[in-house]
Structure 1
Amino acid sequence: MDPDFLSSITRPEVYDFEGVSMIPCFTMNWVNIQKFQARPDDILIATYPKAGTTWVSYILELLFFSKLGAERQKTMPIYMRVPFLEGIFPGLPTGVELADQLPTSPRLIKTHLPVQLVPKSFWEQNSRVVYVARNAKDNAVSYFHFDRMNKGQPDPIDWSTDLQKFMDGKKVFGPWYDHVCGYWEKKQTYSNIHYMFFEDMVEDTGREVEHLCSFLGLSTPIEERERITKGTHFDTMKLNNMTNYSTVPVMDFNVSPFMRKGKVGDWKNHFTVAQNERFDEHYKQRMKNTTLQFRTQI
């Protein structure tokens, strides 16, 4: 990566957009995002940032399209095969254009939008939604390291400042609490949501792939599922240039890899005792009205 190019990038500032903290590259195409025409067989992969989006995207991509041959896996980055709906990045078509141009069916589309900002057509078409949630502490740590290395994101400054930002809901895409609870509530009235937990995937990927197949109505043979589980192992994906985002120019891999650890419980290496106590107290307040439960270790 060109160090001069990286040092010339001005990081964006967050601003309030429809009540959610956002940055321009996710809102400048807003009219087209909201007008996006979903199809009944679309699969929307929704997550808060750094909760296992790429992992689940790759699993779904292999479940549906590994039969299209190894060439596709080796030459097309994951962000071309699973477009980021609200994304606008230099040198690439918009996420909406990429999704519209997808030749495959079903279309796999990713979003980090909170549930209330998802284009209406997904709900009207009864499209399937796969939501992945990750416990708040590990999510906060992963997001901090991501913002350190991604010059297209606001500057996290330092861990303590960034943790406060996370608690205040001032990270890009808004509060983690509203995001995970929003989709959880939606699931109560919209049956086509498959709600997954990052911790369950780490604990037993094969089991979670089986649950995914069941939700999607796929009768994938067990040996095929095992092959996919192996191929999507974190360490394998981390070395795969088509899934590790090493082809994205705004990311500085000298600071941190895009796929860093993929572990449960890494928060213990970051939170001080005081931070942990304060976080737990705040978390209890923010999550007191939901039945949603997370594991911070497995």
Structure 2
Amino acid sequence: MGHFRRHRSGAIIRHPAKDTRPAVRYANLYAGGAFHGPDHRAGRLQQGPLETEGMIMTQAARPERKYVYNNMMTDSRRWDAYVPRDGDIIISTPPKCGTTWTQMICALLIFQKFPLDRKLSEYTLWLDMPLRPLGEILDIYDSQTHRRFIKTHTPLDGVPYFDNVTYLFVARDPRDAFFSMGNHRKNTKPEMLEIMLRSAKERSLQMQMPASDVRAAFRNWISASGIPDEGGMAEFNVLHHARTFWEFRHLPNIIMMHYSDMKADLEGQMRRLAAALNISVEEGLWPQLADAASFERMKENADTLAPSGAHPDQWRDKAAFFNKGEHGQWQGVLGEEELALYRQIMKERLEPDLARWLEHGWKG
């Protein structure tokens, strides 16, 4: 369950129970595939194959579904009705960490053309978003004959695990994700927020709205554990979400990508994802696909690419959904008190390699 204590800022810090199990030992070779490990010789993280001979393997062999995530945005019990198909891709990301971007990349790799025949949200629906009838979502997925790519914001410990399904996680510097969510809320129409609050009330949920002061909101947000049993804004916790995947990064059907790497080398990351998903792409198509997935092109095509599955008219400005996608939005806004608290919690909750990767990606 973990424990609680008060930081000098006044924030209540919820600490998940510490994992005392030994770490898995990984190879230090770059492979560009779906397996990852730390390369200490280079002083940074790299993607690499799993070391098999003599590997210390004390972690759980398979992910387990430990928690129910039931909040304003998600009801993970809806996954009970999910029937997997071979090759399904579950895109599991914290909000504002590149979800729609990753959905678009998957669409481009699967269909290998642009523009798409339909809106992006008509292909890849948010399965555990409680605002849309579950039966309607399942009927759409059941009718699809192409490789399915399914959206969720639920961490790995809240979804069912199957060996024939690929789980794709995309991370982002937590500070950037927090500020991007602030822009996201400002762009959401009040009517949409009312619908979400009404849904939460119907499910007897107690909702906590962010503090109006951005620094106080950040302190409260970063202090929450993200674990449902421990309370505290479990619907949006980058650290906990990343931990659920990091533990199982050695599995062949777990793919971990990073927002910063995608910004720095989009085509390279798309090629890497295609290889991990066993998708072949003709060499001549790559420039076209990478251009279609660029932030600028997605902003230009916001009418068909901005999420619309929860409500057809939820944004003040669809193009503003693709706001900036920049790194360092928090600089000059967060004070030393907030940054000290952030560094403290990162150190206490994450192993060093994960903390470094979460901020900088594989190439950072």
Normalising to structure 1: TM-score of the pair?
A: 0.79
Contact 2:108 2:289 in 1 (8 A): yes
Distance in 1 between residues matched to 2:304 and 2:112, nearest whole Å: 14
Residue 104 of structure 1: aligned partner: 145
Partner letter of residue 181 of structure 2? Answer: Y
Instruction: Give 1:58-207 correspondences, 5 Å limit.
Output: 58-67=104-113, 70=115, 72=117, 76-89=118-131, 94-101=136-143, 103-119=144-160, 123-150=161-188, 151=193, 152=196, 155-158=209-212, 159-167=214-222, 168=224, 169=226, 170-188=232-250, 190-207=251-268
CA spacing shift, 1:95–1:162, aligned 2, 3 Å = farther
SS of 2:125's equivalent in the other structure is: coil
Partner letter of residue 260 of structure 1? N
Q: Give 1 or 2 for the bigger CA radius of gyration.
A: 2
Aligned match of 1:9: none
In 2, the alpha carbon distance for the partners of 1:295 and 1:269 equals 21
CA contact 1:181–1:290 (8 Å) conserved in 2: no
Secondary structure, counterpart of 2:175 in structure 1: helix
Offset at 1:191? Answer: 1.6
Matched, 1:228 2:289: yes
Q: Give the 3 Å change call, closer, same or farther, for CA 161–34 of structure 1 in structure 2.
A: farther
Code of the aligned partner of 1:201: M
Q: Find the aligned partners of 1:171 and 1:145 in 2 and give their Cα distance.
A: 18
Residue aligned with 2:320, SS: coil
Taking a change above 3 Å as real, the CA distance of residues 281 and 35 of structure 1, as seen in their structure-2 partners, is: same
* CA RMSD in angstroms, aligned pairs only: 2.8
Aligned-partner Cα distance in 1 for 2:107–2:256: 18
SS in 1 for 2:249: helix
What is the CA deviation profile of residues 133-184 of structure 1, one whole-angstrom value per residue up to 9, with x for unaligned ones?
1111111111222233332476434322321232124335253211011111
Asked whether the 8 Å contact 2:74–2:235 carries over to 1, the reply is no
* Distance in structure 2 (CA, Å) of the matches to 1:90 and 1:19: 22
Query: How many residues in Structure 1 have an aligned counterpart in Structure 2?
Result: 269
Separation in structure 1 between the aligned mates of residue 209 and residue 244 of structure 2, nearest angstrom? 27
Partner in structure 2 of residue 15 of structure 1: none
Per-residue CA deviation, residues 60-95 of structure 1 (Å, 9 max, x unaligned), is 10111135x7461xxx22121111111233589654
The SS at the match of 2:167 is strand
Verify the 8 A CA contact 1:148 1:156 in the aligned structure 2: no
> What residue identity is the alignment partner of 2:242?
V
Aligned residue in 2 for 1:47: 93
Q: 2:347 is paired with a residue of what secondary structure?
A: helix
CA pair 200-25 structure 1, distance change in 2 beyond 3 A: closer
Contact preservation (8 Å) 1:83, 1:95: yes
Q: Does 1:251 align with 2:315?
A: yes
- Seq. identity, %: 23
Task: Provide structure 2 residue ranges, at least 5 long, that are not aligned to the other structure.
Answer: 1-65, 198-207, 227-231
Task: Give the CA deviation at 1:295.
Answer: 6.2
Distance 1:223 1:209 in 2: 14
Residue 23 (structure 1) aligned with residue 71 (structure 2): yes
Cα deviations by residue, 1:189-238 (Å, 9 ceiling, x for unpaired): x3211110111000110110110111112221233122111111112112
State the AA in 2 paired with 1:136: P
Q: Partners of 1:239 and 1:55 in 2: how far apart?
A: 13
Among 330, 333, 340, the residue aligned to 1:267: 330
| Contact 2:215/2:335 (<8 A) preserved | no
Per-residue CA shift, 1:91-135, capped at 9, x if unaligned? 89654443233x23211111111111112xxx3342112211111
The 2-side partners of 1:238 and 1:251 are apart by 14
Separation (CA, whole Å) in 2 of partners of 1:163 and 1:21: 21
Give the secondary-structure state (helix, strand or coil) at the position aligned to 1:41: coil
Question: Is the partner of 2:127 in helix, strand or coil?
Answer: coil
**1:139, 1:25 → 2: CA distance?**
16
Q: Structure 1 residues 222 and 284 mapped into 2: Cα distance closer, same or farther (>3 Å)?
A: same
Residue pair 1:21, 1:174 contacting (<8 A) in 2 also: no
**What is the CA-CA distance between 1:291 and the residue it aligns to?**
4.1
**Structure that is richer in helix per residue:** 1
Which moved further from structure 2: 150-159 or 224-233? 150-159
Inter-CA distance 243–38: structure 2 relative to 1 (3 Å threshold): same
8 Å CA contact 1:138–1:296 kept in 2: the answer is no
SS in 2 for 1:84: coil
The more displaced of 234-243 and 271-280 is: 271-280
Q: TM-score, normalised by structure 2?
A: 0.66
